[in-house]
Chains A and B, each alone.
Chain A
Amino acid sequence: GDSVTQMEGPVTLSEEAFLTINCTYTATGYPSLFWYVQYPGEGLQLLLKATKADDKGSNKGFEATYRKETTSFHLEKGSVQVSDSAVYFCALKAAGNKLTFGGGTRVLVKP
């Protein structure tokens, strides 16, 4: 079946540091790939997405590129802020509208 694997956290960074969260997937066919963010006390929000190979999703300074050859969708941000502290989920959507989530990565950015 479909699955998503992402690096375990927590990831602790200083403000303005570079952030990478690795995500790899297993799926049949050609899934769409997503990153969701969950801020403390809030629901999941879509951060960015990519629907086909080599697409790059970007939002709020975050980027991720759909790499079919490595089945990866790593999330990056060049300079994190304290407000980026949250839990980040990588997810895929294959056939239909069901989302398969990775385990989540907690990111803590310290001033």
Chain B
Amino acid sequence: QSVLTQPPSVSAAPGQHVTISCSGSSSNIGNSYVSWYQQLPGTAPKLLIYDNNQRPSGIPDRFSGSKSGTSATLGITGLQTGDEADYYCGTWDSGLSSWVFGGGTKLTVL
């Protein structure tokens, strides 16, 4: 059971837009920054978003992040088949004194 809650799966057609939610509490998302990671099949995670909504160099602006209260959201526009992956949110939990991840969301581009 992950501390951060994500939907197990989402799907959408190529070219469409999708959002992935990440729900937490006041001890984690509520008082800390959220980052998002993309894990393509059989590969290591890759940083997509940090500081809730900042994209590292090289990440296309099709990817966006937002945070409100104790929830965060990853948005992906102009979906491509190459976006099929597992997506994880993560943040620091001050109550647990531990870095925590969501359970991951599998994105299928139909």
The answer to whether A and B assemble together is no
On A, residues with C-beta under 8 Å from B are: none
On B, residues with C-beta under 8 Å from A are: none
